[in-house]
Chains A and B, each alone.
Chain A
Amino acid sequence: MAENSTHPTHSTNPTAPVNPTHPTEEPTPTVVVDGVHITYKVNGARTGRGSATSALSRIVSRKAAPGVREVHAVKGVSFAAYRGEAIGLIGSNGSGKSTLLKAVAGLLPTARGKIYTRGQPSLLGVNAALMSDLTGERNVILGGLAMGMTRAQIRDRYDDIVDFSGINEKGDFISLPMRTYSSGMGARLRFSIAAAKSHDVLLIDEALSTGDARFRRRSRERIDELRREAGTVFLVSHSNSTITESCDRAIWLEAGRLRMDGPAKEVVAAYEEFTRAGGRAAR
């Protein structure tokens, strides 16, 4: 492999990342991924839960469950992300993008290699903390607390969150239980809560596709804002246009391996060429 040739177009690329520090200084890394492998076990891959007799004979014979399979999702990926960058992760389904994102967030262990971070990277999303039986109002507070905000911070942001979600545009919905919301309203409120907190390193997994066109535009603006406040943003998306619009750098994973890392436009162009040539569906 020609390891020393540099890419000819990077200097003229208009989407090249804006480096807040002086160009001759070493930029500040926020996430360093060093030779990371991630494997996970899948339970019941073949037999589901299995019949009672097979489970019993397994216990008696002390064999491992036959359905447990190991999946090697990420295979030796290395890169460094710097402050001020917005990095898109692209690749076909099952290429390990979301798995890598979870590992950067510290929610999945690495089998080999290490991930170093500045501060605590956070996934954008509080869906799991919200309870559909509670009112939108109480969910704003619960979600904020779950993300680690203080009660005072939530009080300060409360009106912004509700206004941003647009929940109250058609009546006083915020004081109704969330289970009475339409799916679009619920998604909007969830995004608004999740986007209320600024993070050192923000990880976004397909969050831009919720709500109507107006809300999508607003949420993209909010992502840009978060990006300015955050050190670094990672975005997983299957929409190539989202990547080129929101990110200045892209990392292309294919079958768990890092295939290309560079300015978003170049990487997306190469990826599009690959999907056309290879005939593999990219969504």
Chain B
Amino acid sequence: MPTRPGKRARVTTATSTAPPPSPAPPPDLAALAARHGLTVSGARPTLPAYLRRLWSRRDFITAFATAKLTAQYSQARLGQLWQLMTPLLNAAVYFLIFGVLLGTADHVPDFVPFLVTGVFIWTFTANSIMAGTRAISGNIGLVRALHFPRAALPVALALQQLQQLLFSLGALVVILVGFGQLPTASWLLAVPALLLQAVFNTGLSMAMARIAARTPDVSQLMPFLLRTWMYASGVMWSIDTVLGDRELPQPAALVLQYNPAVIYIDLVRFAFIDSFTADRLPPHVWAAALAWAVLCGAGGFLYFWKAEERYGRG
């Protein structure tokens, strides 16, 4: 039977200033741990266990997301009104440049609803990705002090963006009605489209969180990548109109058509805007939207989980 170290003093290094050595030989510690069913500290849980733990932290995830959202504008005089003002001002800037100065409005029917929908839906994805890059690096103190499945952070930040989107949608409805788009049954199609987009965003957010946790420089690079992606996604113009009669090589056309940002933006435009008809959507658009959501959602989660034990260390 191993001796209990707590009952006797044990000195393992002896120097001139050390007290007289009185060591007890360390018992077979690994066997002791095994006998009492102790587990190795800091090991990565299995995938089912990880999912269970993440689910049990759902209250923390929602509270963290809401707290971040409220803390965001708490120092501003207008306070939570900025939740509505920020997306509206964004849309106003794009309207000024693309609608008025560049004259895109002449080629796109219902340009203002088209533009505002595009900007809001794009912002949802772009902000989720940017939030993802800061999910670990921006909360490193939390990661180094408390135990919880780290995926809670990117998921909470993606949820915060979803809450932000709901505010934007409120503004969007006002604009749509103001420009003559009255609510119809097809508006309900926006719900599945946005849910799929939210899953897609969360997956990307988790993947970015892992990449940026290892290489913080990525967050400096992301704004440029995102801007390129935005201009390729027809947020403020119609890709069909810009391309005109030009024939693109088949792969390039496919990439443009099945770009996930284009798919989610156009699905929501299709839901909200009467003049945006089904023939402007690529074939199998719902299948593509679902495929992107499943691929990025599950892939991003798996990719994030694979490095679970390494976040915030070293």
Contact = CB atoms under 8 A, between A and B. Distances in A.
Contacts of B74: 133-134, 177
Contacts of B144: 102, 107, 128
A142 interface: yes
Contacts of B142: 128-129, 146
Contacts of B38: 29-32, 116-118
Contact of B10 (A81, A126, A177, A261): A261
A277 B19 CA distance: 11
Interface stretch (A181-189, A207-215, A218-226, A266-274): A266-274
Contacts of B22: 2, 5-8, 262
Given A3-B23, A26-B1, A116-B41, A148 B8 contact: no
Contact of A29 (B12, B33, B60): B33
A129 B145 CA distance: 9
A273 B17 CA distance: 8
B41 A7 contact: no
A257 B18 CA distance: 13
Judged by DSSP, the binding face of B is loop
Nearest to B139: A128
Contacts of A147: 146
B253 interface: no
**Residue of A103, A114, A120, A274 with highest tally of chain B CB at under 10 A:** A114
B81 interface: no
Interface residues of B, number: 61
Contacts of B4: 19, 27, 80, 82
B244 interface: no
Interface string B188-226: 000000000000000000000000000000000000000
Nearest to B24: A6
A108 to B, nearest CB: 6
A123 B145 contact: yes
Interface in A236-283: 248-249, 254, 257-263, 266-267, 270, 273-274, 277-278
Contacts of B17: 273-274, 277-278
Contacts of A177: 74
Given A125-B145, A146-B142, A146-B148, A34 B39 contact: no
Interface string B9-21: 1111110011101
B57 A78 contact: no
Given A109-B42, A128-B144, A254-B13, A260 B30 contact: no
B25 interface: yes
A230 interface: no
The main secondary structure of chain A at its interface with chain B is: mixed
B98 interface: no
B32 A145 contact: no
Contacts of B21: 1-2, 5
A69 interface: no
Contacts of A134: 67, 70-71, 74
B23 A142 contact: no
Contacts of B248: none
26 contacts: A3-B25, A5-B22, A6-B8, A10-B9, A16-B7, A17-B7, A19-B4, A28-B36, A34-B33, A79-B5, A79-B26, A107-B147, A107-B313, A116-B40, A125-B145, A128-B144, A129-B145, A142-B64, A145-B63, A254-B13, A257-B12, A258-B10, A260-B12, A261-B6, A263-B9, A277-B17
Interface of A: 1-8, 10, 16-17, 19, 26-35, 40-41, 78-82, 85, 87, 102-110, 114-118, 120-123, 125-129, 131, 133-134, 138, 141-142, 145-148, 150-151, 177, 248-249, 254, 257-263, 266-267, 270, 273-274, 277-278
The 6 closest A-B pairs by CB, nearest first: A262-B9, A106-B42, A116-B33, A128-B141, A116-B38, A34-B29
Given A19-B4, A108-B42, A273-B19, 6 more contacts: A26-B35, A28-B36, A32-B33, A33-B29, A79-B26, A82-B6
Interface of B: 1-2, 4-14, 17-19, 21-27, 29-30, 32-33, 35-43, 57, 59-60, 63-64, 67-68, 70-71, 74-75, 139, 141-148, 309-310, 312-314
